[in-house]
Amino acid sequence: MLTHLPIVILASLPFTKVADTVPSFDIVRECRSEGGSAATLERCAADEAAARDQLQPQWAQFTPRDKTVCLRETSMDSTPSYVELLTCLEMARDVKKSSK
């Protein structure tokens, strides 16, 4: 009877995420899907890396709902983009600020 006690205790605890981190996207795949010259690919990769680096410290300030919506929107074509994700999240945040 007592052997089931740890299971009961764990099952009754509220579900919490262990880590809420910026998703990992394949920058090379995203940039290749856009096509263009080697210089264009390099610029795309630099833009994506810069957006990812900018998103990293800001990630916690965005609401879970906005993260879900923006991740869904930026992943529709199977080539998610940090630039698109950051833009979407910033726009959602700014709309909330302006409505106050």
Tell me the per-residue pLDDT of 5-20, one tens digit each, with 9 for 90 and over. Answer: 444 444 444 444 434 8
Tell me the per-residue pLDDT of 14-51, one tens digit each, with 9 for 90 and over. Answer: 444 434 889 999 999 989 988 889 999 999 999 999 99
Read off the pTM.
0.76
Q: How confident is the model over 78-97, as a mean pLDDT? A: 93
Task: Identify the sign of the CA torsion 13, 18, 20, 26.
Answer: negative
Give me the amino acid identity at 39. Answer: A
Residue 17, pLDDT score: 46
